[in-house]
Amino acid sequence: MILKKLFGRGHKIKVAEKLYTEIVRQARQPVFYLKAAVPDTVDGRFEMISLQAFLVMRRLKSEDAEAQDLSQALFDRMFADMDHSIREIGVGDLSVGKRIKAMAEVFYGRIIAYETALDGGNEDLEVALERNHYGTLDTPPDSFVLGQMADYIRRNDQMLKSQTIVDLKKGIVQFADFEAGQ
């Protein structure tokens, strides 16, 4: 029983690593920074990684306990990377924990806002994106760009629903192209 738990945890960590690698790959697509008005900054990159991770975690959380555990492992992997990145840019050890806690709170806020909008809540996805995803910009993008990003999120939400949980549990995930909906 103990070996099964240890092996299962190790496998879950490897799968979370594969998923996270794909999330980061997708988040770094130049189109987001060139055509979707995402600032090519630490904040902008965090927002893009958070958005892709949210979509994958949303899909995993809709499944069985094993998939939900994988969602948690993915969250843990994401924030371990954030911790590493913050340290790399020179943030002192005493401040890292506070920064990670603040980033996690921001991420949880995004999850609530985006899930509520996707599930037909009382806020448009475009409004949630303007307030959250683009919140660090002095001037938010125009309604066309907000619409494009919202369409991208909706298409990926549907695309992830159509991907098998078996593939996701193997670390295989596919995202739609940002410009495919145009």
User: pLDDT for 89-116, tens place per residue?
Assistant: 887 777 888 989 999 999 999 999 999 9
Q: Which residues contact 128 (CB under 8 A, 6 or more apart)?
A: 113, 114, 116, 117
Q: Give the Å distances, CA to CA, from 14 to 10, 64, 77.
A: 6, 19, 10
Tokens, residue 9: 């945890």
φ, ψ at 134 (rounded to 5°): -105, 15
User: pLDDT for 20-64, tens place per residue?
Assistant: 999 999 999 999 999 999 999 989 999 999 999 999 999 999 999
Domain boundaries, the chain: 2-174
Contact 175, 159 (CB under 8 A): yes
Question: Is 73's pLDDT higher than 90?
Answer: yes
Compute the Cα dihedral for 46, 38, 157, 16 and give only its sign.
negative
- pTM for the whole structure: 0.90
Q: Where are the alpha helices (DSSP H) in the chain?
A: 2-27, 30-34, 42-61, 65-88, 93-118, 125-128, 143-162, 165-168
